[in-house]
């Protein structure tokens, strides 16, 4: 039996079409799920919440509140008579008209009963992932602007969020059913539905300024007048997009139709679901219908890019790609990569485009090392400048003075494989041969160095100076060959040291 109920609240005037039989059945089911108050004793906790000890050992249900505060916290558990119980349910009308402005729902609650928080002053609510069922009119007649729902929720019952101020809602993928009028009389401009939802009941989104809605492929039932009173002065719904085949239960355009008035509304579907999938070209169930196109992207083995669904006359957007060690060469219409795809022309049918790749040629690494010295210069305190290019992006470089190692500069190449830096040669170097080594990493991952060789006398003045070219370090030994002149100098110094040692020994 269908009845019309007239109601006014906060300046809203509505005419609600509801099935009395459906509401009674839903109410009786929800009530049966809640423990009967007379079965076992109840108790009142310190925060004014009344709990009922249910049939399940160790669990309690919230059944009432003494209105001691407009802000209430429903705990995960509560202790009574030296025993701790999990708070697993909020009973029917437990907080009805209690003047609540804030509520925190404990992490063990699995069911919220009919009218549990109806007719309060709530503006925000976070329903924890433990909750699987939200009862009929559970949060109706509040001021909710933000509601957070989480995976784990399976059913949103009739009028659950009726008559609030919601602007957007994201229904979790675990929800299978949205009840009648569940989100009616809000301010919704964005509704996100996910695969897994199977049923949207009568008047689910009535009196909301929605402009578009996408219906998941899993939805099989669309109730009547889902967008009732979203027409006339409020009419802004212009498109409904179906991801998959047409629902098997749907009311055709006209009086009490699922999608409302046919004027100004276009149904979008995919070519693969035409005829056999239930959709018909030109019109479907009395609504104007059009085929959207799909542009798919073949990445040629270099990752993946989401396909793009386009309404008629819309243009695809070319994804910009990168892959380490490869150069992207554009998008092509054929697998042989002979004809470039024209993104300036709207596709008229589903199409796959192909990415072209060529192997990148590794850049030759370049290292610059300048000690700022010449033979005859004092070495202490001199600034060493370094730079590099063609290196692996974001890899480290350092500058080390030897014979006793001392790092005088370090850093990292940027995203383009370049760097620049400086350091200071420390004072106190002993007379003899020394090196300054600049080390980095080439684009192919091999280590590269450039070395400056110099020697100083007892006064700290340079007597010899030469540089190597940038070269790869031998992998097995890490050996950097010294120039012949410097090697000869090392041998001469070593020989002199031996002779001096012998002379000292003889003396």
Query: In terms of domains, do 392 and 343 share one?
Result: no
pLDDT in tens, 240-298: 999 999 999 988 766 678 987 777 889 999 999 998 899 999 999 989 999 999 999 99
Amino acid 252: pLDDT: 78
Domain-located, residue 333 = yes
Query: In terms of domains, do 342 and 443 share one?
Result: no
* Residue that is last in its domain, among 335, 359, 383: 359
Query: In terms of domains, do 338 and 409 share one?
Result: no
Structure tokens at 147: 């509601």
Query: In terms of domains, do 354 and 370 share one?
Result: no
User: For the domain that residue 490 is a member of, what is the CATH number?
Assistant: 2.60.40
Query: In terms of domains, do 372 and 351 share one?
Result: no
Judged against a pLDDT cut of 60, whether residue 323 lies above it is answered with yes
Report the mean per-residue pLDDT for the chain.
Answer: 85
Domain-located, residue 243 = no
Structure tokens at 39: 């079965």
Rounded Cα–Cα distance for residues 438 and 281 (Å):
70
Structural domain containing residue 395:
366-496
Judged against a pLDDT cut of 90, whether residue 41 lies above it is answered with no
Query: In terms of domains, do 409 and 476 share one?
Result: yes
Domain-located, residue 391 = yes
The string over 221-250, giving b where at least 16 C-beta atoms fall within 10 Å of a residue's C-beta and e elsewhere, is: ebbbbbbbbbeeeebebebbbbbbbbbeeb
Query: In terms of domains, do 336 and 405 share one?
Result: no
Rounded Cα–Cα distance for residues 6 and 109 (Å):
34
Domain-located, residue 194 = no
Domain-located, residue 157 = no
User: For the domain that residue 305 is a member of, what is the CATH number?
Assistant: 2.60.40.4270
* Residue that is last in its domain, among 344, 359, 374: 359
* Domain count within the chain: 2
Judged against a pLDDT cut of 60, whether residue 423 lies above it is answered with yes
pLDDT-based confidence at 503, cuts 50/70/90? very low
Q: Do 61 and 89 form a contact (C-beta atoms < 8 A)?
A: yes
pLDDT in tens, 61-87: 999 999 999 999 999 999 998 999 999
Rounded Cα–Cα distance for residues 15 and 213 (Å):
23
Judged against a pLDDT cut of 50, whether residue 500 lies above it is answered with no
Average pLDDT over residues 309-327: 92
Structure tokens at 112: 């919220």
Domain-located, residue 52 = no
pLDDT-based confidence at 219, cuts 50/70/90? very high
Domain-located, residue 485 = yes
Domain-located, residue 507 = no
Query: In terms of domains, do 341 and 455 share one?
Result: no
Query: In terms of domains, do 416 and 453 share one?
Result: yes
Max alpha carbon distance in the chain (Å)?
Answer: 125
Rounded Cα–Cα distance for residues 196 and 183 (Å):
19
Tell me which of 32-46, 125-139, 233-247, 359-373 is least confident: 32-46
Query: In terms of domains, do 489 and 408 share one?
Result: yes
* Residue that is last in its domain, among 323, 341, 359: 359
């Amino acid at each position: 039996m269908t009845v019309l109920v007239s109601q006014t609240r906060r300046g809203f005037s509505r005419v609600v079409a509801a099935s009395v039989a459906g509401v009674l059945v839903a109410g009786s089911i929800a009530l049966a799920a809640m423990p009967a108050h007379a079965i076992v004793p109840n108790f009142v906790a310190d925060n004014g919440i009344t709990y009922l000890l249910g049939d399940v050992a160790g669990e309690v249900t919230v059944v009432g509140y003494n209105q001691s505060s407009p802000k209430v916290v429903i705990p995960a558990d509560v202790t009574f008579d030296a025993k701790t119980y999990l708070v697993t349910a909020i009973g029917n009308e437990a907080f009805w008209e209690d003047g609540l402005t804030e509520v925190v729902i404990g992490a063990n609650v699995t069911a919220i009963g009919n009218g549990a928080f109806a007719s309060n002053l709530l503006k925000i609510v976070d329903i924890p992932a433990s909750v699987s069922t939200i009862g009929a009119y559970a949060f109706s007649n509040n001021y909710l602007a933000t509601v957070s729902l989480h995976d784990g929720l399976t059913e949103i019952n009739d009028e659950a969020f009726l008559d609030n101020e919601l602007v957007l809602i994201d229904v979790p993928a675990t929800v299978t059913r949205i009840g009648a009028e569940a989100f009616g009389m809000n301010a919704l401009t964005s509704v996100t539905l996910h695969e897994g939802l199977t049923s949207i009941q009568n008047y689910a989104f009535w009196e909301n300024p929605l402009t578009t809605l996408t219906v998941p492929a899993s939805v099989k039932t669309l109730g009547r007048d889902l967008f009732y009173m979203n027409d006339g002065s409020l009419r802004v719904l212009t498109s409904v997009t179906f991801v998959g085949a047409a629902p098997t239960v749907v009311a055709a355009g006209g009086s009490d139709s699922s999608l409302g008035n046919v004027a100004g509304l276009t149904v979008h579907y995919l070519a693969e679901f035409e005829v056999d999938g239930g959709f018909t070209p030109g019109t479907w169930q009395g609504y104007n219908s059009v085929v959207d196109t799909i542009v798919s992207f073949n990445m040629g083995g270099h990752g993946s890019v989401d396909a793009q669904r386009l309404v008629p006359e819309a243009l695809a957007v070319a994804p910009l790609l990168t892959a380490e060690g490869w150069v992207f060469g554009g998008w092509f219409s054929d697998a042989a990569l002979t004809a470039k795809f024209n993104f300036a022309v709207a596709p008229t049918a589903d199409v796959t485009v192909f990415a072209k790749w060529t192997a990148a040629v590794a850049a030759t690494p370049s290292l610059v090392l300048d000690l700022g010295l010449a033979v005859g210069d004092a070495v202490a305190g001199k600034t060493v400048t370094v730079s590099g290019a063609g290196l692996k992006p974001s890899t480290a470089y350092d500058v080390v003075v030897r014979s006793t190692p001392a790092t005088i500069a370090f850093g990292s190449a940027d995203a383009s494989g370049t760097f620049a830096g400086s350091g200071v040669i420390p004072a106190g170097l002993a007379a003899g041969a020394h090196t300054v080594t600049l080390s980095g990493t080439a684009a192919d991952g091999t280590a590269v160095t450039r070395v400056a060789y110099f020697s100083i006398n007892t006064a700290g003045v340079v007597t010899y100076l030469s540089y190597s070219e940038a070269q790869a370090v031998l992998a097995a030994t890490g050996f950097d060959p010294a120039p012949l002149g410097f090697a000869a100098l090392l041998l001469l110094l070593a020989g002199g040291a031996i002779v001096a040692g012998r002379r000292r020994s003889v003396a």
